[in-house]
């Protein structure tokens, strides 16, 4: 029940903040970021790479197989599977939302003066909402916080930096990354709900 109310609160507050950003901040902010110096943007390019989901699959999938087939560690096998499902589920939902929204990326604003949504349209220039990098890193940060309550919350700090990099590079608007953060966290809470219902024992797994 607690996770349900947290998810509802996140959706409502995230929608409100994304709406305000869309109405007042998105356009001025991307125009400001477009004028950032090359050294800043070069550094930001490296930061934003950490939001690509492929890196996490490259780490989590082998770790899952090692804990499952070699170490025979049930606790860590379940934890790795949980991380894998969180990133996968949030990524699939993100793709669906991008298709529904069909939002113009900043490049369309700069090149053609287009801003807003072309619902159910596809293509790179029309899949700005939500930010996929942000969905990935916030889903992972929420999952780590669930698995490691004492330390996992620190994962939200690099997640926020990566999300900011998407705006700085004018790949996304601020409202895109706000929505991405909410989608990532809510998806992870949803996955945790199903793991709990299945009795997966994320917190109580034992070595076997």
**Residue 107 belongs to domain with CATH number:** 1.20.144
In a domain, 143, yes or no: yes
Identify whether the C-beta of residue 150 lies closer than 8 Å to the C-beta of residue 137: no
Average pLDDT over residues 92-111: 97
In a domain, 146, yes or no: yes
In a domain, 68, yes or no: yes
If one counts the domains in the chain, the total is: 1
pTM: 0.94
CA 188 to chain centre: 10
Q: Which domain holds residue 190?
A: 2-197
Banded model confidence at residue 166, pLDDT cuts 50, 70, 90:
very high
Tell me: the pLDDT tens digits for 29-65? 999 999 999 999 999 999 999 999 999 999 999 999 9
pLDDT for residue 167: 98
Banded model confidence at residue 117, pLDDT cuts 50, 70, 90:
very high
Average pLDDT over residues 124-129: 94
Which of 31, 9, 36, 10 is closest to 156 using CA atoms? 10
- DSSP letters, 62-83, are HHHHIIIIIS--HHHHHHHHHH
pLDDT for residue 208: 37
Phi-psi region of 148 (alpha: psi -120 to 50; beta: other; left: phi over 0): beta
């Amino acid at each position: 029940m607690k996770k349900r109310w947290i998810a509802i609160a996140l959706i409502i507050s995230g929608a409100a903040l994304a709406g305000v950003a869309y109405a007042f901040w998105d356009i001025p902010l991307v125009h400001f970021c477009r004028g950032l110096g090359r050294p800043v943007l070069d550094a930001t390019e490296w930061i934003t790479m950490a939001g690509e989901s492929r890196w996490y699959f490259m780490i989590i999938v082998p770790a899952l197989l090692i804990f499952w087939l070699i170490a025979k560690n049930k606790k860590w096998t379940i934890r790795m599977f949980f991380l894998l499902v969180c990133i996968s589920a949030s990524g699939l939902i993100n793709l669906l939302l991008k298709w529904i929204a069909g939002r113009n990326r900043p490049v369309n604003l700069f090149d053609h003066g287009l801003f807003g949504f072309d619902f159910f349209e596809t293509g790179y220039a029309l899949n700005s909402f939500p930010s996929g990098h942000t969905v990935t890193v916030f889903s992972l940060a929420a999952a780590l916080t669930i698995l490691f309550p004492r330390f996992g919350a620190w994962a939200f700090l690099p997640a926020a930096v990566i999300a900011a990099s998407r705006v700085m590079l004018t790949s996304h608007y601020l409202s895109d990354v706000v929505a991405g953060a909410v989608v990532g966290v809510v998806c992870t809470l949803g996955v945790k709900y199903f793991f709990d219902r299945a009795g997966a024992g994320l917190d109580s797994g034992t070595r076997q």
